[in-house]
A = this chain, B = another copy of it.
Amino acid sequence: MANSRPMAVSRAAPRAQPARKEAAPAAESGPLQLGELSELLGYQFKRTQLRIFEDFIRCVASLQLTPAQFSVLVLLEKNPGRNQTEIASTLGILRPNFVSMLDGLESRKLCERIRSPHDRRSHQVMLTEKGHSILARAKRLVAAKHESRLNALLGDADRAALLRILDKLSAF
């Protein structure tokens, strides 16, 4: 999990040019220049997303839940009785890969599969009492440690702006 903490993705100190020289020869030491990566949305998105997930994992470490597992539990809570195909596809998880994921959650008694009486091919998936309880605790940890830290850094205005922009990007 602990990767080599990479540089600060800083936009600062653009290193003044030697005035006359063309094609700046690049520094021979010190931090590297990111060049156009600084303004490449995909690059910045990826790096930021990794940091956010790292923090999420750290914040709910006591409950041993990954971001993906958390997202499944949230979906089960809000949509009890839906089948595996529906849950998986909503989260962008391929059905074959969702099987072992559910196995993990079910073996921990956080959710259960129940053969649907209406269509015996499918499973109605739902949280157990323990699943509800763990999810509630996870939400509290996320709100108190993870989201609050993000909010403190961003401020209410930028957090709202970010969510609005992310929503806009859902059409991308």
Contacts and interface: CB of A to CB of B under 8 A. Distances in A.
A117 interface: no
Best-buried of A43, A81, A91, A158 by chain B (most CB within 10 Å): A43
Contacts of A153: 168-169, 171-172
Contact of A90 (B32, B42, B46, B52): B32
A161 B161 contact: yes
A154 interface: yes
A75 to B, nearest CB: 6
Interface residues of A, number: 73
A8 B170 contact: yes
A78 interface: yes
Nearest to A4: B89
A76 B144 CA distance: 42
Given A4-B94, A90-B6, A94-B3, A11 B45 contact: no
Nearest to A149: B172
Given A3-B92, A11-B167, A42-B49, 16 more contacts: A8-B171, A33-B78, A34-B78, A35-B74, A35-B78, A44-B166, A46-B53, A47-B92, A48-B166, A48-B172, A49-B49, A52-B172, A55-B172, A150-B172, A154-B165, A158-B168
